[in-house]
Amino acid sequence: MNRMGTREPTRRQLLMRIGAAAGSMAAYQAMTQLGHAAGTDFSGFPSLSGARKGTTVLVLGAGLAGMLAAYELRKAGYDVRVLEYQNRSGGRNFTLRGGDTLTELGGATQHVGFAPGNYLNPGPWRIPYHHQGLLHYCKLFGVQLEPFIEVNHNAYLHDSDSFGGRPQRYRDVMTDFTGYTAELLAKAINQNKLDQPISADEQHDLLAAMKGWGLLDKNYGYSGTELVALRRGYDKMPGGGPDGAPTPSQPLGRAAIMKSGLWQWLAFNMSYEMQTTMFQPVGGMDMIGKGFAKHVNDIVTHNVKVTKIGQDGGGVTITYVDDQGSGAVTEAKAEYCVCTIPLPVLAEIEVQASAPMRAAIQAVPYASSVKVGLEFKRRFWEQDDQIYGGISFTNQPISQVSYPSTRYFTDGPGVMLGGYMFGPAAYAFSGMTPAERVEEALKQGSVLHPQYREEFSNGIGVAWSRMPWTLGCCSAWSEETRRAHYKAMTTMDNRLVLAGEHASHVGCWQEGAILSSVSAVTQLHQRAVSAA
Amino acid sequence: MNRMGTREPTRRQLLMRIGAAAGSMAAYQAMTQLGHAAGTDFSGFPSLSGARKGTTVLVLGAGLAGMLAAYELRKAGYDVRVLEYQNRSGGRNFTLRGGDTLTELGGATQHVGFAPGNYLNPGPWRIPYHHQGLLHYCKLFGVQLEPFIEVNHNAYLHDSDSFGGRPQRYRDVMTDFTGYTAELLAKAINQNKLDQPISADEQHDLLAAMKGWGLLDKNYGYSGTELVALRRGYDKMPGGGPDGAPTPSQPLGRAAIMKSGLWQWLAFNMSYEMQTTMFQPVGGMDMIGKGFAKHVNDIVTHNVKVTKIGQDGGGVTITYVDDQGSGAVTEAKAEYCVCTIPLPVLAEIEVQASAPMRAAIQAVPYASSVKVGLEFKRRFWEQDDQIYGGISFTNQPISQVSYPSTRYFTDGPGVMLGGYMFGPAAYAFSGMTPAERVEEALKQGSVLHPQYREEFSNGIGVAWSRMPWTLGCCSAWSEETRRAHYKAMTTMDNRLVLAGEHASHVGCWQEGAILSSVSAVTQLHQRAVSAA
């Protein structure tokens, strides 16, 4: 029995859960479902004019959505106060550094041992260029950004059942997959074997494209030529002087490439949300939360737990308890409320709202997710493997490991993301103790990097379903719940409006929190102005 | 007649030359030829032990190859002196900033008007992660590096004859090209129309791959579905609140995509030399040259022009003239010589070497290249187009424009690379006055960015064939010249050894200079030690 009172999964159960996630198509589909939202529309915060000065608003939650609401509403003349469960602002926007502690449901407390300057972003860690709402506030609050490297052609792709379990370089899989695809299509075209008639002109264009794009030889074959080396690299690298001639490398087999399913990671990295140029804040993702907090922390009350959200014709009444000190119960009143409490927590609170909104709150589950951070004594992935930033993918439960997109080429310890799990693997890792999570990440990661054991210094494992203030990673809308509940979730209900990534079409991204809050604040303002 | 005494090309001649370069296959082939070298082998400079202290070496040229030779030879105990034609060290590793002036053959002098902090790297501008020799010296000399963004999925691909001449977003071309390719192959497989028998298992794997990688629908069709939007993005972007639902975008036509030839840029960016993670020095490429110079400038004599390289059994005699002051002719003597003078210049100097080395010096032509730098009043490519770093490609002569991979999101002026030409387009631009180069780059670039004229501040155009100290951009080896002359070019000839990118299999990259010099220094040392 573990601390939660439930039975720990057996090794066999664990492997079965893992198996369900590890099938390449399943993993890919999970990824693309997570990637259901992409790109946003934002061209500056709408002007809120005509507010009756001093109209009172209570904001519940000091994450990005709550702090945005507080910042913009106060700027527009509202009298705003924020209630926050944790002892800090930022919500899921947070960063763990040496000296930090993290206590999860069940009581396990982790003390982060990272060296100065190193960090892990347990929640959001990358910002697509098209998340213009978030980028707007980064600029407004002076948050310095640097490129986040998503694709690294020299990182590894790994499938336990392919190529004898040996990780392959991303560029080799990409080159060979492209080459074989082009070869098969070119030869089918060349023999008029397509399923539909194609004009001679298009045949000509297609053949040229397959040949050039696939690096095919003059017979439209994909073979281990000098040409292919331009993309794959070399066994013996080119050099200077008399002995500088390189030796091309040899392609992997076609059937093995196709069977491996490693193409799924090429596909994943082509998705809109992973496209260049991505960014991250210099020094850790929480620089954004801190940027917001600098402007609103004076009106945030920390360490209070909301127990009831009441409303009537006259206003809202929020009941909360002091979660650290006296345990005293307080009622706070205001004319309006913006509630950004994550749904799994909100679902346990009495909310006076319309039946549709209450149903919406209950309807949307949260995805579970686990991240493991591993500090190593040196950046061996750079020094030994020539991998600078980016991600290696594997069909093992850890799913991926990522190399820091910052402080390249430095000496001393570095922190890798040692695993990033959704779905069954996340449940399995959540069921482990923090030390077991780290140990499992080390074991699996050693397949990619044999240096792991020798170079390991310390690690942490963050299970989102065990964070008491969110009880999950982020909202998992389905098409059905979206149809049934999205409107009620996002539409102001008398004096109460919800915000947070769950109230957007950009779920699981900080941008969703930003844009949902823009909508919530706008609705609230329109309601308040028309009521005045 | 222009300053060189040759007739300026007429507009019609210019267009014809441009046409020769603009054919997409031709341009692609030129690119892949330039990309003939990739990846290098370097694991630290070899230890040079046993040198007879005080053995004298004259190094000709203070570019990266020359400075590396000077640095390593002096460290090993040699008595080294460097002769440099220019008034600065660095060679083709240089950066232009506001206040700099540049005078070219023919006498045209450009005064750079860029705002503080902005710059253009007229020569090398990006460093592949596998150029480990160069990266070694960057680390050794404390040169800070930051990611160089090569691929930007939100940048443009443009073909004048396709899509009504409208630039397309990189991600749209990538998504649609991938989708149509997958659809054609999947349907051919599905109907057993491949040219060769494929096992049922592989058919199954291939179909799964085409479907997942190409984002095909259940009938293996590539159509404008929600699924495709995951990669293409949306017409109406997803947002927050009740109106947050996105609208997918519609694919371009298959025949038009294939005919456009825009796939060539996808292919180009997959090449080993363009793969992630690339780097650039923070503040300009010349930070590397300055890093070297800090360690060797005390033994560099600037502003001297070598006119003869003599050698006999006793040593080398270098004749040079003071190019700025008295014009005095001097003879310098040493036991050995490392000559890094670019071949077009060296070919005009009397060199006492074996017939094969002299033939090699004459045999290898240099590519011409032109870069245009344009400063604009604001970073409209970021603010209006959401393009952060990376490159847009066009079939116009300018070939590409690039957005700075640094100082993202800043206000104030920014410098774009307004054109980067090789081949016929480079000859055409070299024949123009600097002002005409800038004007032509503005005209062509306006097709990609209509903001050009409104936002333009100032610009420069650097024609490498008009740089008196190199007379071209870099060595253009062919397979034939490689076979006939590479060995003689790179093998020490009595007391003389050549170095520079031309003496490597990594031509046209700084890494070639580094590795050629490592080889040259090693050969010289072996010769000197065995002679002692």
pLDDT digits over A174-191, tens only? 999 999 999 999 999 988
Question: Which residues in chain B have their CB less than 8 angstroms from residue A187's CB?
Answer: 194-196
Q: Do B409 and A181 touch (CB under 8 A)?
A: no
- Asked if residues B37 and B133 have their Cβ atoms less than 8 Å apart, the reply is no
Q: Of the ranges A68-72, A239-243, A440-444, B43-47, which one carries the lowest mean pLDDT score?
A: B43-47
Instruction: Tell me whether A142 touches chain B (CB under 8 Å).
Output: no
Half-sphere exposure of A130 (CA within 13 A, CB side): 26
- Asked if residues A360 and A347 have their Cβ atoms less than 8 Å apart, the reply is no
pLDDT of residue A326: 83
- Asked if residues A56 and A74 have their Cβ atoms less than 8 Å apart, the reply is no
Profile chain B (532 residues) by mean pLDDT over runs of 10 residues.
Answer: 35 34 38 37 82 96 98 98 98 98 97 98 97 97 98 97 96 97 93 79 95 95 87 91 92 96 96 96 98 98 97 96 88 98 98 98 96 98 96 97 98 98 94 98 97 98 97 95 97 98 96 97 96 75
pLDDT tens by residue, A92-148: 999 999 999 999 999 999 999 999 999 999 999 999 999 999 999 999 999 999 999
Selecting from B212, B277, B491 the residue whose C-beta is nearest the C-beta of A242 gives B491
The residue-averaged pLDDT of A517-532 equals 94
Instruction: Tell me whether A514 touches chain B (CB under 8 Å).
Output: yes
Selecting from A139, A193, A245 the residue whose C-beta is nearest the C-beta of B195 gives A193
Q: Residue B491 contacts by C-beta under 8 Å, 6 or more apart in sequence?
A: A242, B357, B497, B523
Q: What is the DSSP string of B233-253?
A: -EEE---BSTT---EE--PPP
Q: Do B193 and A194 touch (CB under 8 A)?
A: yes
Element counts in chain A: helices (H) and strands (E): 18, 26
Distance CA A74, CA A430 (A): 39
Residue the block writes with tokens 């008196």: B468
pLDDT value at A33 more than 80: no
pLDDT of residue B195: 67
**pLDDT band at A481; cut points 50, 70, 90:** very high
- Asked if residues A296 and A109 have their Cβ atoms less than 8 Å apart, the reply is no
Selecting from A36, A139, A238 the residue whose C-beta is nearest the C-beta of B39 gives A238
B205 min Cα distance to partner chain A (Å): 5
B107 burial (CB, 10 Å; 0-12 / 13-18 / 19+) is exposed
Question: Which residues in chain A have their CB less than 8 angstroms from residue B519's CB?
Answer: 239-244
Q: Judged by CB atoms within 8 Å, which residues 349-388 of B form the interface with A?
A: 386, 388
The CB density around residue B460, as the number of other CB atoms within 10 Å, is 25
Q: Do B255 and A205 touch (CB under 8 A)?
A: yes
Q: How far is CA A441 from the centre of its chain?
A: 18
Q: Do B409 and A138 touch (CB under 8 A)?
A: yes
Question: Which residues in chain A have their CB less than 8 angstroms from residue B241's CB?
Answer: 490, 503-504, 515-516, 518-520, 522-523
DSSP state of B47: P
pLDDT of residue A532: 66
Residue of A nearest to B198 (CA): A255
Q: Residue A348 contacts by C-beta under 8 Å, 6 or more apart in sequence?
A: none
Q: Do A202 and B254 touch (CB under 8 A)?
A: yes
Identify from A230, A509, A514 which residue to disrupt to test chain B contact, counting B C-beta atoms within 10 A and taking the largest count.
Answer: A230
**CA dist list (Å): A62 to A289, A297, A409, A469:** 9, 9, 37, 11
Q: Does domain B168-260 have CATH number 1.20.1440.240?
A: yes
Instruction: Tell me whether A5 touches chain B (CB under 8 Å).
Output: no
- Asked if residues B335 and B377 have their Cβ atoms less than 8 Å apart, the reply is no
Residue of B nearest to A515 (CA): B240
Q: How far is CA B348 from the centre of its chain?
A: 26
Identify from B145, B151, B230, B249 which residue to disrupt to test chain A contact, counting A C-beta atoms within 10 A and taking the largest count.
Answer: B230
pLDDT of residue B197: 79
- What token pair was written down for A158? 């790994």
Instruction: Tell me whether B143 touches chain A (CB under 8 Å).
Output: no
Options 3.40.50.620, 3.20.20.140, 3.90.1150.10, 3.90.660.10; CATH for A11-34+95-125+149-154+369-466 is 3.90.660.10
Q: Where are the beta strands (DSSP E) in A389-499?
A: 390-394, 400-403, 414-422, 456-463, 474-475, 496-498
DSSP state of A143: -
Instruction: Tell me whether A488 touches chain B (CB under 8 Å).
Output: no
Phi, psi dihedral angles at A188 (to 5 degrees): -65, -45
Phi, psi dihedral angles at B453 (to 5 degrees): -65, -45
Name the CATH architecture for the domain at B11-34+90-123+144-153+277-282+369-466.
Alpha-Beta Complex (3.90)
Q: How far is CA B503 from the centre of its chain?
A: 17
Residue of A nearest to B193 (CA): A193
pLDDT tens by residue, A382-409: 999 999 999 999 999 999 999 999 999 9
pLDDT of residue B224: 75
Question: Which residues in chain B have their CB less than 8 angstroms from residue A195's CB?
Answer: 187-188, 190-191, 193
B526 min Cα distance to partner chain A (Å): 14
Question: Which residues in chain B have their CB less than 8 angstroms from residue A199's CB?
Answer: 255
Distance CA B412, CA B403 (A): 15
Q: Residue A385 contacts by C-beta under 8 Å, 6 or more apart in sequence?
A: A154, A449
* Cα-based angle B497, B500, B506 (whole degrees, multiple of 5): 120
Instruction: Tell me whether A190 touches chain B (CB under 8 Å).
Output: yes
Selecting from B139, B188, B409 the residue whose C-beta is nearest the C-beta of A139 gives B409
Selecting from A32, A178, A279 the residue whose C-beta is nearest the C-beta of B230 gives A32
Helix (H) or strand (E) holding B357: helix B355-363
Length of chain B: 532
Nearest to A487, CA basis, from B200, B45, B244: B244
pLDDT of residue B190: 85
The CB density around residue B299, as the number of other CB atoms within 10 Å, is 16
A55 burial (CB, 10 Å; 0-12 / 13-18 / 19+) is buried
Domain boundaries, chain B: 11-34+90-123+144-153+277-282+369-466, 56-87+291-365+475-531, 168-260
Q: Do A241 and B523 touch (CB under 8 A)?
A: yes
Q: Indicate the average pLDDT of chain A.
A: 91
pLDDT of residue A195: 67
Interhelix angle B132-140/B510-531, nearest 10 degrees: 80
B158 min Cα distance to partner chain A (Å): 16
pLDDT tens by residue, A39-66: 455 777 888 999 999 999 999 999 999 9
Interhelix angle A64-75/A286-296, nearest 10 degrees: 30
Instruction: Tell me whether A205 touches chain B (CB under 8 Å).
Output: yes
Selecting from A264, A520, A522 the residue whose C-beta is nearest the C-beta of B212 gives A264
Selecting from B28, B232, B242 the residue whose C-beta is nearest the C-beta of A212 gives B28
Q: Do A515 and B230 touch (CB under 8 A)?
A: no
pLDDT tens by residue, A83-108: 999 999 999 999 999 999 999 999 99
A225 min Cα distance to partner chain B (Å): 12
Positive or negative, the Cα torsion across A166, A169, A172, A177? Answer: positive
Q: Do B514 and A237 touch (CB under 8 A)?
A: no
pLDDT of residue A194: 72
CATH number of B56-87+291-365+475-531: 3.50.50.60
Predicted TM-score of the model (pTM): 0.93
CATH domain A168-253 topology: de novo design (two linked rop proteins) (1.20.1440)
Q: Mind spelling out the 3-state secondary structure of B478-515?
A: CHHHHHHHHHHHHCCECCEEECCHHHECCCCCHHHHHH
Q: Do B516 and A241 touch (CB under 8 A)?
A: yes
Instruction: Tell me whether A199 touches chain B (CB under 8 Å).
Output: yes
Distance CA A82, CA A103 (A): 23
- Asked if residues B267 and A213 have their Cβ atoms less than 8 Å apart, the reply is yes
Instruction: Tell me whether B28 touches chain A (CB under 8 Å).
Output: yes
Q: Judged by CB atoms within 8 Å, which residues 161-180 of B form the interface with A?
A: 171, 174-175, 177-178
pLDDT of residue A41: 59
To the nearest whole percent, how much of chain A has pLDDT over 90? 85
Q: How many CB pairs under 8 A join A and B?
A: 344
To the nearest whole percent, how much of chain A has pLDDT over 70? 92
The CB density around residue B377, as the number of other CB atoms within 10 Å, is 14
Q: Which CATH superfamily is domain A56-90+289-364+476-531 in?
A: FAD/NAD(P)-binding domain (3.50.50.60)
Selecting from B39, B205, B386 the residue whose C-beta is nearest the C-beta of A130 gives B386
- Asked if residues B75 and B45 have their Cβ atoms less than 8 Å apart, the reply is no
pLDDT value at A433 more than 60: yes
Selecting from A38, A240, A490 the residue whose C-beta is nearest the C-beta of B503 gives A240
Q: Residue A263 contacts by C-beta under 8 Å, 6 or more apart in sequence?
A: A173, A177, A257, B209, B212, B213
Q: Judged by CB atoms within 8 Å, which residues 229-268 of B form the interface with A?
A: 229-234, 236-246, 254-255, 258-259, 261, 263-264, 266-267
Helical H segments across A120-168, by residue range: 132-140
Distance CA A360, CA A354 (A): 10
- What token pair was written down for A19? 């198996």
- Asked if residues B399 and B424 have their Cβ atoms less than 8 Å apart, the reply is no
Question: Which ipTM was obtained for this model?
Answer: 0.92
Instruction: Tell me whether B87 touches chain A (CB under 8 Å).
Output: no
- What token pair was written down for A525? 């303002």
